Amino acid sequence: MLKKRLYITLSACLCIFSVKQSAGQTITLPQANISANSDYTVTSLIGPVISLAVLPTFRVRSPTSNFTADITGETIPVSVARPKLRSAGAISLLGSSSEVTLSTTNANLYVAVASIGAGGTTLIDYRVITAGTVWKAGTYRSNLQYSIVGIGNSVSPPALDLVIDVPAFISADVPPVSPATITMDAIARFRNTNGNSVASPFTYSTTVINQIGLKTSTGASAFTYSGTAAVPPVTAVNLVAVTSDVTSPTTFNLSGTDQLLNTSNLAVPATNKNTITPTFTISTANLQSAFIQAGTYTLPLTYTISKPAAAYPTGSTISTTTTVDLKVITSDLAELIVAPSQPNITFNYTSAASYTQSNTVALSGHLTLSKTTPYIVTVRANAANLTLGATTNQIPVNIITIEPMAGQTGVNTITLSNVPQTLISASSPVIDRQINLQYRIPSSQNSTLVGKPSGTYETTVTYTLVAP
C-alpha cells in the first residue's frame, strides 16, 4: 500500500501595530484665565497607550510636589492640575472616570468594574486651577508616572512630561477713572495745610516683574486752561507732586518724561493682579499761585507698566499703557471778611481839643478778601447821614474819609457816601489779601459837629466785592 505522508507547514505572521506618542502633554494657560483667576480646561491631550485585560486600575502620580520652570527654576504646585481620563482607544470613559488632583500619591484615573475592551491610546482632559497660585512666566514641567494594576494590563510609555506654559504679559484690567479731579469749590480749600489731593487707582495683571512709569501724555509742560480769563494762565505741570502705594515708592513732580513710581522692581503680585493708587497733590502755595484763576485746568497723563530689560524673559519687550486726565476745577469764589475784632468804628469827641484836630481810627487787617476772578471793592454808607438814635439829629457821612494806612498799596482814598465808591480798583485773583484802612474826619470838617446834641450818631457801612 502506498503510504503518503502529509506535511502541514504553519507559517506564523507577526503583525506589529504602532501608535505615535507625543513627547509630553502641553497646556498653554491663557492670559485671560490668569487675569480673571478662572479655571482653564483643556481636552483630549494624548496620554500613554494602555492594554486592558482583567479589571484594570489606571493611575497617575507626579514624582515631585511641584512643576519646575525650565529656565528660572520657579515652581508651582502640581495640585493645580486636575486630570480626567476621557477615553481609551475607541471607548469613551467620561461617564465612568473621575477628575483627580495631581499629587505625589497615585490617583486613580479609572477603576474598571467590567471589561471595556482592549484599550488603546488614552486621551486625558485637564482642568487647571488658577486661583491661589502666583503665575510667573515660564515653561513648567513634571514627568508624570503612569501605572496600571490588574492581570495582563500594561501602559506605555510609563512616564510623560506634563508641561504648563505660562505666557509673559502685562495687561491693564481696570483703567483709572478719568478725569481724576481736584475740585476747588471753597475758599477754605486754598488754605488746607497739606494742599489738596486726588487718588487715582488702577488695576493691572501680569506674570512678569514690572515697573510703572508716569509722564504727561504728549510731553506737555503746562496744563490746558479753559475758562473766562482774558489771558489764559500758563500752569506748569511740575507743580503737581506724585506718590503711590507701591512697594518702595518714590515721590516726584510731574514732567513730560517718564518717571518711575517705584524705586525697586515690583514682584509678580499675588493673584497676578495689582491695584495701584497714585495720589496727585498740589501744595497750598502752588494752588494759590497757579490755580487761583477760576476755570478748568486739564492735563492728560500716561502710565507705562513694563518689564525691566534684565527681568525674565530677557530680550523681550513687554509693556502696556493706561491713561488718565488730571483736572483742577476752580470755581468762581468770593469771600470778604471784616475783622471780627473791628465790628464798629468809633470817633470820640470828648474834649474841646477833639474839635480842633483831625480824628483818625486805624484799622490794621480790617478787611480780608479772596476772589478767584478779577475784582473791585466798593464801599458805601447805608444812608446819607449818621443819625442820633430815633431823633432827627443827623451828621452827613461825607465828613468821613476812608484811606489806606501807611504802607498799604492798591487802595484808593474816598469820601464816604451812600453811593458806592471804589475803594480797590480792578485787581487780580487773590486769596486772603489783607487790607489795612483808616477812617478819618479831617479837622476841616469839625465845624459840622459843633452844636450837635451829644450822643452816638450811627450808620452802617457796607463793603462789596464785585467783578470789574
Per-residue pLDDT at 18: 31
The answer to whether the beta carbons of residues 445 and 416 sit under 8 Å apart is no
C-alpha–C-alpha distance, residues 275 and 223, integer Å: 27
Per-residue pLDDT at 77: 98
Per-residue pLDDT at 111: 85
Q: Name residue 259's beta-bridge partners.
A: 214
DSSP element (H, E) containing 122: strand 119-128
Q: Name residue 85's beta-bridge partners.
A: 124
DSSP element (H, E) containing 93: none
Per-residue pLDDT at 113: 58
The answer to whether the beta carbons of residues 73 and 119 sit under 8 Å apart is no
> Which residue is listed with cell 500752569?
235
Instruction: Print burial letters for 341-371: b (CB count within 10 Å at least 16), e (below 16).
Output: eeeeeebeeeeeeeeeeebebebeebbebbb
Q: 4 Cβ partners below 8 Å, 6+ apart?
A: none
> Which residue is listed with cell 469749590?
185
Per-residue pLDDT at 22: 45
Catalogue the E-assigned strands of 307-409.
319-330, 334-338, 359-371, 375-381, 385-388, 394-396, 401-404
SS3 58: strand
Running DSSP on this structure, what letter comes out for residue 287? H
Per-residue pLDDT at 115: 56
Share of the chain above pLDDT 90, in %: 85
Per-residue pLDDT at 57: 87
DSSP element (H, E) containing 464: strand 461-466
The answer to whether the beta carbons of residues 117 and 90 sit under 8 Å apart is yes
C-alpha–C-alpha distance, residues 167 and 190, integer Å: 49
Closest C-alpha among 215, 212, 272, 221 to residue 247 = 212
The answer to whether the beta carbons of residues 237 and 254 sit under 8 Å apart is yes
Q: 250 Cβ partners below 8 Å, 6+ apart?
A: 243, 259, 260, 261, 262, 263
The answer to whether the beta carbons of residues 82 and 99 sit under 8 Å apart is yes
Per-residue pLDDT at 3: 36
Per-residue pLDDT at 118: 61
Residue type, position 237, single letter: V
Share of the chain above pLDDT 70, in %: 93
C-alpha–C-alpha distance, residues 237 and 216, integer Å: 8
pTM: 0.86
Supply 195's cell numbers.
494742599
All residue ranges of the chain with pLDDT < 50 are 1-22
Strand pairing class (159-166; 24-28): parallel
Tally of CB atoms within 10 A around 336? 17
Per-residue pLDDT at 401: 98
C-alpha–C-alpha distance, residues 427 and 404, integer Å: 16
At 238-256, the pLDDT tens digits run 999 999 999 899 999 999 9
Residue type, position 450, single letter: V
C-alpha–C-alpha distance, residues 93 and 159, integer Å: 21
The answer to whether the beta carbons of residues 413 and 425 sit under 8 Å apart is no
Backbone angles phi, psi at 444, to 5 degrees: -65, -15
Task: Map out the domains of the chain with their CATH numbers.
Answer: 24-166 (2.60.40), 170-332 (2.60.40.10), 335-466 (2.60.40)
Per-residue pLDDT at 56: 80
CB hemisphere CA count around 115 (13 angstroms): 6
The answer to whether the beta carbons of residues 53 and 78 sit under 8 Å apart is no
Supply 341's cell numbers.
475784632
